[in-house]
Every structure is written in C-alpha cells, then in structure tokens.
Structure 1
Amino acid sequence: MAQRLEEYAMVGDAQSAALVARDGSIDWLCWPRFDSDACFAALLGTPEHGRFSLRPTGELRSVRRAYRPGTLVLDTELSTSDGAVRIVDFMPPRGAAPDLVRLVQGLRGRVELDLELSPRFGYGARRPWIRGRGRHLSASAGPDTLHLLGEVPLRADQGTIRARFAVSAGEAAPFVLTWHPSHEPAPTPPDPGAALEETETWWRRWSGRCTAGGRWHALLVHSLVVLKALTYSRTGGIVAAPTTSLPEAPGGVRNWDYRFCWLRDATFTLLALMGAGYVDEARAWRDWLLRAVAGQPEDLQIMYGIAGERRLTELELPWLPGYEGARPVRIGNAASSQLQLDVFGEVLDCLHQAHLSGLPFSADGWTVQRALLDWLESHWNDPDEGIWEIRGPRRDFTHSKVMAWVAVDRALRSARAGRLEGPLERWRALRARIHAEVCARGFDAERGAFTQAFGSKALDASLLLVPQVGFLPATDPRVRGTVEAIERELTEGGLVHRYDSRTGVDGLPPGEGVFLACTLWLSDALRMMGRHADAARYFERVVGLANDVGLLAEQWDPVQRRLVGNFPQAFSHVALVNAALGLSSPAPHRSGRCPEGGDDCD
C-alpha cells in the first residue's frame, strides 16, 4: 500500500517527475512526459503495479532526508543496527533521453540492501520482458523500454529486476535508469558522478537567480524550485501536479487528473515568477498561454495539455485499486469541456500583467484578446461551472462575473498602455454594467457579504480575490464583510474551505479537505486590509503543513491531520510565493491590479 503523502518527496527534470518515499521506494513515475503512462504506479495500487525500491534488509532505526539547498537533489539517510547509508536521488537535466540516478553511499558500518525494480508499463497494466545479464538489464513492453545500469550483479525474476548487495563506509553503488522508445537504439547512460555535479550546478544556478528577499526567502526559493520542476521545459507549460487520482478526502471519489495546465493559474503564476525575477520563465508561460488559447473564442478551454493539446478525454483505469482504495482512478479530465467564464479574466489579466512587467508586447496577443472580449461581450451573463469545476447544473457564480469584469478592465488598460485600437467606449459601458450587476445580485446586504452565486446565501473563498483583482478596494465595507464572513464561517483550524461541500452545489458527494491556496488568499486579503499580524499567522499555518522536504498538496484533512489531493500542487506553491512576496514587501505586490478598485481605476 502507498504511504501517506507526507512521506513522499519529488525529483524531476522539468519534463517529468518521480515520487520517492521515505523508505526508498519510488512509487510514481510517468515517462517521458508528465502526462505519459506511468511505469511505476504503486502510488495508486500495490507494489505489483510498479515501483523502484532500494532499502536496507535490516530494520530501519531512523530516516532523515533533505534536498540539497537550492536544488531538487534528494539525500535520504537510512540507519540500521549495522550502520547507515545515504541514497542520493535525482533526475539530470534532460539529454538524449530521460534518466533517473540513484546513488547509494556508505556512511558508517556495513549495510546490506535489496534492490527491486518492477516496471509495469501502461499504469501498472503491462509486465515487461526483461533481457540482459550482469550489471545491465532492460525491460520492454510495447513502445517502452527501461534500461538499468548498476555496479552490482542484477538478476531477472518474473518481470522484476532484483539485486542484493552491501555497502561499507566510504563505498558507493550507483544505479542509472533510462527510458527510451523500444524501436530506437538504447542511449548512452550518463556517468553518475558527473551527472550529480551537473544537476546540482544546474539547479543552484537557476535558484540563485531569485531576486526576492525578505523573511521567508528560503521558503520562497524552495517553492520556486518546485514550480520549475513542474514546468514542461520544452513548451513553458506548468502542470497543476505530477499525479492523478489522489483523492481530496481519504477513500473519496473526488479523484482527478492534474497533469495538465489550467488557465485559472495564469496570472498567479506569472506574478509569482516575475515577482521573484524569473523573466524568461514568465515569458515562456505567457507564450504557452497565447499558443494554447489561439483559435475561436467559443472553443476556449479551462485547461490544456502541456504542449497545448485540447483533447483530454477522461478515462477510468479499473485494474488500479486507487490510493488507499479511493476509486475510480482517472486519467484525462472531463472538466476540460466545461464553461468557466473566469478563465477569460485570467487570460487577459495575465497578458496585461506581462506587459506591465516589461515583457515585449505581442501584436498577435492583442488580436487574441480582442477576439476573446468580443465573444465575452455576448456571453458574460451566461451561467457556468465556475472556478471549482462543479459537476452539477450551471449557475451565475459571482467570482465568474467578477473575472468577466477583470477581462474587460484589463483590455481597457492594455489599450491605453499600448495605444491600441478597440471599441473603448463600448467596453467602458460593458465594464460598468458588469460591475453594477455583480454589486446588485452577487452581494447579500443582509449578510453583508458577496455570496457564491447570484441569489445564493452560501459563501465561497474565491471571493477573497475581489480586492486582489481590483474589483473593489480592500477598504470597501463589502469586501471587509466578505472577508470576515469567510474567516468566520469557512475556516477550520486556521485553514479555509473553498466552500461548504455539504450543500451539494458541486454535484458530488460531500467531503473534502481545506484548500491551502484559499488560506493563502485569506492571508493576502488580510494584509491588504492592514491586518498584517493575522495575515502572517494564516501564512505560517500553511507553511507548517508542508512535509519535511517542504512540499504541499492541494488540501489538508483537518480530521485525519494529513495532506490530501494531488501532490505536490503547483497552485499551493504559487499562492505561497505570492503571499510571501506580499508579506515581505512594504508596497502592494500586485501593483498592476488596480489597487483602488472599481470602474474609475483606468
């Protein structure tokens, strides 16, 4: 059975990623891309569904692990009664083929270890044919081949590669695992020692470019490293997580595939990268966004594949029992076909923020923005599925309408900043009409708060973004009432639920954890309201939930006190970066997001 999410670390090469458990077992890896079929899927089943295990044969007395500073090179020290070893796990920067290096180093005494490599291609469905002998074996099935090269004798055993060996203090035993298409010749594996040095240098050079300082600098840099690892470097797209079907509540059915790029993350991601000085990465993300959304506005999706793919057909994998029995296991995501009006605001805001941040203006980008706004002009008052991708009836979600206002507002701002052509008077009238509609129908005067949908009494944490996006200033009584109501009614243990899932509004059975990004949004809203001590308290509450190597999932289960949801979650780390930047700066972090709010801010 897979371990708790807290027990996993991630290694990656900015094209794919593996999850490594504290006991030395790699239980999840998709090759050659984040969204490829998994060759290790024990995370969603049992060891028989594929893993790569390295562990001492004796009883473990202690385990200590950490990333080398500024890198995604993982050191895990395992101690037994016979001594101690360090396992160094990393994925070198991608060369001709993806590689995973595992280096066993003797620290003291003499420790015996077992190696078990069980590739199971097709998400645990296909047992491979193993060939070779001695220190080099290969495993093939269909289009995939893995090669394992080691310095100890390896043997094949019914679809599994095994070895038993011992390491004394000062000795080392390296293993290099390489993937390649089965119809192509095997690539030359890297030298483990040289690859380790190259990987450390690559990561430290990258993380050393961070220009943000402040009290939480180390946390901020680590979250940026996680975001870099979740970036598909060939296109600039950033996956929401490297995993699929990790449930939002233990044993629950809210199991989704997050190995795609969401438009809702666009502005937050760009601001996080730009705020920390990563201009090239922000430009790559902006360019990915423009390529992905190109086409007819009515065909705009809420998410895309890492290269901009549109077909994300959702399928169930019945042979996998699921993480701790949570079923069904899904690949693909049917929510990609939903209507979410908020993504129009995210796209136009992202492009506007990119221009404000100094990225070169794109004439093609303005053409795309005008086309999107032309469509939105006729459809902004349509009901939709909203930011949380409900699988129930469409509704007039207040956040969606706010973001429609953002789309128009940013188009007006971009036109003014770039002296661009457009029906500006018509857009100004549209912006005023949307603003008035939201204030009239999305605000409950009796509650003194904006509500989840027009005519609803329910609260929604997405409305914490009202001051961030500039719809109204943080000092507005309506904003203050909304923030205080959410703090009062949607928080549990100092963390924020995105909404009350017991109401059935999302068309799913009730039950999920608290949403970590929403707690960071609350921190940001409180900071903007001048409640700096409370803002820092909520921020530190989230930081305290990260596991021992600083990784966050999507949610936290306050009952079982554990991380839940796909892991590690880019949205959580993006929100952490932006909150840290805000708390560390005396000036408003989102200076381009209309700090005064309302319709008079251009």
Structure 2
Amino acid sequence: MSGTPIAEHAFLSDGHTSALVTREGSVDWLCLPRFDSPAVFARLLDDEAGHFLLRPANPDAVAVRRYLPQGLVLETVWTCATGTLVVRDCLALGRHDRGHDLGQTSPGVLLRHARCESGQVDIVVQWVPRPEFGLIHPRLAATSGGVVARGGATVQLLSTNLPMTISESRTTRESRGEPGTAEARATLEAGEQLGLAMQQAPAWGEELKGWSARRIARTVDRTDAAWRSWSDLHQRYRGPLERLVHRSGLVLQGLTYAPSGAIVAAATTSLPEGVGTDRTWDYRYTWVRDASLTLRGLWVAACPDEAARFFAFFARAAATQLERGLPLQIMFGVGGERDLSERELPHLHGWRGSAPVRVGNGAWTQRQQDVYGALLDAAYRLRPYLSDLEEPTRTLLVAAVETAAATWQEPDQGIWEIRGPAARYVHSALMCWIALDRGISLAPELGATDRTPRWTTIRDQIKAAILTEGWNERVGAFTQRFGGDELDAATLLIATSGLLPANDPRVRGTIDAVAAGLSDGRGLILRYRGGDGLDGVEGSFLLCTFWLAEALAVTDRVEEAETVLHRGAGYASDLGLLSEEVDAATGELLGNIPQAFSHLGLVLAAHALAEAIERRAPRSG
C-alpha cells in the first residue's frame, strides 16, 4: 500500500506538467505531457503504479533537501559513511524560457543529475515506467545510450550512460526484479557525475533522441537560471513570512499551464481529505474561482503581467456560454476542454487505501454562483494591467455581471461543491454582490456605463438580502445558508469584500463565531460542520485558517492575526509546500499537493497582516 507522508514530497514543474519526488529519492508522480494527462509514475497512489528511484545504495544514508534559491530545482544532499552525493532534480525548461515566457517551450523532460562531492558513494537507480496510471507494464529494451519502454499509445526513453539490468518477464531466469523494471548499481568517486533524462512521445511518432550527460548537466543549470529570471521580475513582496510567500508565488507559477495561462488547483488527484475515506478528487484542472483568486495571490507574491493571458484563456474556454443563457462552467481542462467526466480507476488502491482513485471531476456540471464574483474581483484588482482588454474578455466580464444580476437568488452547490441538493448560500450571494460591485467600478473599461444604474439597484438588493436573511442574530454571525444557523468559514470573506466596513460589529461577530465554532482543537479551521452528502470525516482546511488570519488582519486585530497565520504556516513541509488540509488528530498534511488555494490563502493573509502592521506604525511628521 502506498503511504509515504504527503509532506515528504517535493514538487517540480516546467509550466506544462509536474512531478513529485519523495525524500527517499523516488519520483512517485509524473503525468505527461500535461498536468491532467495520465500518469507514467503513480506510486503515490499504488505501490505497483510506477516510480523512478535515484539514491545511495546505503539505506542509512541521510538526506537533506532544499530548493535552489528562487526556483523549483530540487537539491538533495546525501551523506553516507563513505562520502557525499548531491542530486539535483528538475523538469527541464526551454532554452529561451526566461521571465514572463517561463515554460513556453519546455521540452517535457525529467532530469536527474548526481555528483559525488567527497569520498565515494554506491548508488542505485530503478526505472519503473507504468503508463496510464499503471495499467500498462511496458516492454523494456536496451538502446544506444539508455533504455526504451514500449507499450500502449506512448513510448518512454531513459537516457543514461549506466549499464541497466532489465527485468522483462517473470519466466526469464536472469530476471531479478519486477517485470518491466530497469535497474543499475554503480559507484561514483569524488568529482564523478551521473545524468539521467526521461522523456515520452506518442508511440507512432518520431523516434526519441537521447540526452548526453553533458546536456543534462547544462540544462539543469539553465533551468535553475530560468526560474531565477522569473523570480527577479516577480518576487517583490516584503513583510511577514517573506520566504514562504515567495515560495508560494513559485508554487502558484509552477501550477500554471504556460501555453494557455490556466492555473490548476493542485498537481495531483485522489489524495484524500480524510485517511481511508472516499473524499478523493481530481484537482488537475482549472477552476474559474480558484484560478481567479490565485491570480490575486500572484499579484501579491509575484506580479500580474500574466493577467491578460489568464483572462483571454477563460474568454476562449467559455466562448458563448453566458450569451446563450447558460451558467458559466465552473472548471475547464488546462487547454480549455469542457467535458471533464469523472471515472474511477479500480486497479489503484489509493494512498493508504483511500479509494476510489478518480480522474475527471463530476463538479464540472455543477452550478456555482460565486464564480462570477471571483472573475470580476480578479479583474478589478488587476485593472491597471488590463487597459487593453480583448473584445472577447470584455464580453465575458459584462456577461458575468449580467448573469450574476439575473440569477443571484437561485440555489447552487456553493463554493464547497456539495454533492447534494442545491441551496441558497450566503457566500454565493456575497460573490454575486461582488460581481455587481466590481462590474460597476469597471464599467468604463468594459464599455458598460449605460448598465450601471440597473447594476447598482440589483447590487443594493443583494446586500439587503444578505444583511437580513444571511445574518442570524441568535448565532451572532452570518451563516452558511439564508435562514440557517450553521456556520461556514466562507463567510469570513465578508470582512475583505467591502460589503460592510471592517469595524462593523457583524463582521467581528462572524469572525469570533467561526473562530470558536469551527476550530478543530489545534486552532485550525474547518470549512463547516454537519453532513455534506459524503461519508467519512475530512481534515481541517488550511485555506479557511488563512482566511481567518486575513479577516483578523483587515479588522486590525494584529496579534491574533499573526498567531493564526503562523499557526497555519507551521504546517508547511520542510520545502514550504502546503496541501489542502491537516488531519486534526495527527497534524499530518492531507489532500492534494501542492494546493493552490492553501498557498493563495497564506499569501493574502501575510499581505493583509503586513498592511495592518503598517497602519499601526506611527507616522513621522
């Protein structure tokens, strides 16, 4: 059963796809050629679903890992009794990928480079490709400069100058390992280097060309320089948790599909929200809401130069949906695909037996009213950088405001994508209010000034409904649903929305009620309590914890905000990565990783705290 702690994984990206590498030196997750493609290594979800190991042969070797500064090149320093080995892993960036063009020409190659720094180190390499999430056990064969794997619709090539032993069939006497495995053992002396490159192509296309050890080493260095060029342009934040905010900006950029500008919610599928539960979802797609909010995070942690590309992507993906009177689809494939039908992979046992493993996401058919506000709020905050909007983008934004105005009273599945009956959620109404409010402000840029009187009337109607039907005097807070009494962490966003002044007692009451009523005992915040149509219990939601910190900061409760922010940030891995949730019993990270929403929440909360500290500081003169 696969069960390596989620926090033990490092994240690599080339702006097209991602890989996860364990502390033990095994690539246990890699989808090619895109984030949402089938995995060729999926030991993350099943021990038999493929991996790529490079590490010292000595099981007692000690690993210390880090990212090279300002990027996503992983460096692991292995210390053995006999010597020291340094391994650098990355997904290669293209020769001309620099700054804002990061990832545009990525070749789709996983690179692993090892160098013996002192003494001598015995190493082991295992290459176990299992395309289509482990369904295919390909035939492996030695080739000039490496090993080729053939099976199904793709072919994989491992470039290496190591002599590899291939285990092809259980009936072959010479086979020592699992069929379809290539393995090598070697000794590196001080100063000696080893390069490994793995790539994939369609089985019926041109033959893959191998990579030399020199090219591998040179490209690792070039990829490191490319990431630094991006950071030099983007990393401007100064304030609390500066290093984690910068790391989060890199993660958010790493979750961006460079060709289209789409931002995936996470790099993985089916890491559970609760151990042993069926709360296993595929997050390798771009949600309108998540991506819009993530763009805000990039604005703080980095810079918004990619904003126009982002809005153009959604305008093309949505096409004429809103104009035809249809609700905006809440999520798309990274290339703009619509049909994300969900299916299960019964041959995979799941992380720690948490099944089913799913690909696709059934939420694509849901109605979620909050997407309009998320889209307009992102445009509003980035308006200085959107002066020359393309006509399809203007049309999309105007139609989003109009749809929010026409449908804000209709029930939906809400931000948490409840798989049960639709309801009227306070957060959904709030986001419709934001859509109208931001649309009014953007009307000159959108060519919609003639609509502002009607938009203003509807905006005020939504506000009145939230203040009367969404507020519960007995609970002393805004609640999850109109007329309900259940708490929902999403109502914390009222504090940052502009619906009410930050010092309004109803804002403070909601903050206090959520902090008291949705705390897990560790001081982390649950999304809500009560049934949601699913079995099992989920973990505490890191995004909601950061929402609480942000709400405390904007209401000038600085010490409380700082405490909550640092508490949530304390669950980041040693590499600064966050998943979706935390197990309330064990404190272990749960859910898909790295999770854009969690990193976004940290970024925005830290920024809000920095502003609160500045407001408090005495002014000279």
With the shorter chain as reference, the TM-score category is over 0.9
Spell out the pairing of 1:180-579 with structure 2 (5 A cutoff).
180-190=201-211, 191-209=215-233, 210-297=235-322, 298-357=326-385, 359-416=387-444, 420-492=448-520, 493-500=522-529, 503-504=530-531, 506-579=532-605
Is the 8 Å Cα contact of residues 11 and 19 (structure 1) preserved in structure 2? Answer: yes
Cα deviations by residue, 1:425-450 (Å, 9 ceiling, x for unpaired): 22221111111111111110111100
- Partner letter of residue 528 of structure 2? Y
Spell out the pairing of 1:112-151 with structure 2 (5 A cutoff).
112-133=122-143, 135-151=145-161
Partner of 1:26: 27
Question: RMSD between aligned alpha carbons?
Answer: 1.8
Whole-angstrom CA distance in 2 between matches of 1:12 and 1:284: 19
The gaps in structure 1 that reach 5 residues or longer are: 590-602
Displacement, 1:566?
Answer: 0.3
State the secondary structure of the residue aligned to 2:76: strand
Identity of counterpart residues, as a percentage? 39
Is the 8 Å Cα contact of residues 372 and 431 (structure 2) preserved in structure 1? Answer: yes
Whole-angstrom CA distance in 1 between matches of 2:460 and 2:18: 46
Partner of 1:595: none
Moved more, 338-347 or 361-370: 361-370
State the secondary structure of the residue aligned to 1:422: helix
Partner of 2:99: none
Q: What is the aligned counterpart of 1:154 among 133, 158, 164?
A: 164
Is the 8 Å Cα contact of residues 82 and 110 (structure 1) preserved in structure 2? Answer: yes
Cα distance, 1:475–1:586 mapped onto 2, change above 3 Å: closer
Cα distance, 1:73–1:359 mapped onto 2, change above 3 Å: farther
Cα deviations by residue, 1:167-206 (Å, 9 ceiling, x for unpaired): 1222111111111222222344450121012111101111
Whole-angstrom CA distance in 2 between matches of 1:23 and 1:266: 32
Whole-angstrom CA distance in 1 between matches of 2:314 and 2:353: 36
Whole-angstrom CA distance in 2 between matches of 1:348 and 1:290: 13
Displacement, 1:322?
Answer: 0.5
Is the 8 Å Cα contact of residues 16 and 257 (structure 2) preserved in structure 1? Answer: yes
Displacement, 1:302?
Answer: 1.2
Displacement, 1:148?
Answer: 0.8
Whole-angstrom CA distance in 1 between matches of 2:504 and 2:319: 37
Whole-angstrom CA distance in 2 between matches of 1:370 and 1:92: 40
Moved more, 341-350 or 120-129: 341-350
Displacement, 1:308?
Answer: 1.4
Is the 8 Å Cα contact of residues 44 and 320 (structure 1) preserved in structure 2? Answer: yes
- Paired residue total: 585
Whole-angstrom CA distance in 2 between matches of 1:375 and 1:19: 40
- Partner letter of residue 581 of structure 1? H
- Partner letter of residue 229 of structure 2? R
Cα distance, 1:317–1:347 mapped onto 2, change above 3 Å: same
Displacement, 1:358?
Answer: 5.1
State the secondary structure of the residue aligned to 1:185: coil
Whole-angstrom CA distance in 2 between matches of 1:98 and 1:250: 33
Is the 8 Å Cα contact of residues 550 and 606 (structure 2) preserved in structure 1? Answer: no
Cα deviations by residue, 1:283-312 (Å, 9 ceiling, x for unpaired): 322222322233222141111111111110
Partner of 1:44: 45
Give the TM-score taking structure 1 as reference length: 0.94
Is the 8 Å Cα contact of residues 87 and 113 (structure 2) preserved in structure 1? Answer: yes
Displacement, 1:155?
Answer: 2.6
Moved more, 367-376 or 414-423: 414-423
Displacement, 1:276?
Answer: 4.0
- Partner letter of residue 197 of structure 1? D
State the secondary structure of the residue aligned to 1:580: helix
Cα distance, 1:292–1:351 mapped onto 2, change above 3 Å: farther
State the secondary structure of the residue aligned to 1:122: coil
Whole-angstrom CA distance in 2 between matches of 1:374 and 1:480: 32
Whole-angstrom CA distance in 2 between matches of 1:465 and 1:51: 41
Whole-angstrom CA distance in 2 between matches of 1:54 and 1:76: 11
- Partner letter of residue 201 of structure 2? H
Partner of 1:57: 57
Partner of 1:17: 18
Cα deviations by residue, 1:118-173 (Å, 9 ceiling, x for unpaired): 11111110011222346411112222111111121123212111111111222111
Partner of 2:607: 581
Give the TM-score taking structure 2 as reference length: 0.91
Partner of 1:77: 77
- Partner letter of residue 62 of structure 1? V
Is the 8 Å Cα contact of residues 144 and 180 (structure 1) preserved in structure 2? Answer: yes
Partner of 1:598: none
Whole-angstrom CA distance in 1 between matches of 2:279 and 2:3: 18
Cα deviations by residue, 1:41-85 (Å, 9 ceiling, x for unpaired): 111000x21110123222224221001111111111223333331
- Partner letter of residue 441 of structure 1? E
Whole-angstrom CA distance in 2 between matches of 1:150 and 1:419: 58
Q: Structure 1 stretches (4+) deviating beyond 4 angstroms?
A: 356-359, 416-419, 586-589
Is the 8 Å Cα contact of residues 377 and 438 (structure 2) preserved in structure 1? Answer: yes
Moved more, 302-311 or 356-365: 356-365
Moved more, 420-429 or 33-42: 420-429
Whole-angstrom CA distance in 2 between matches of 1:203 and 1:365: 29
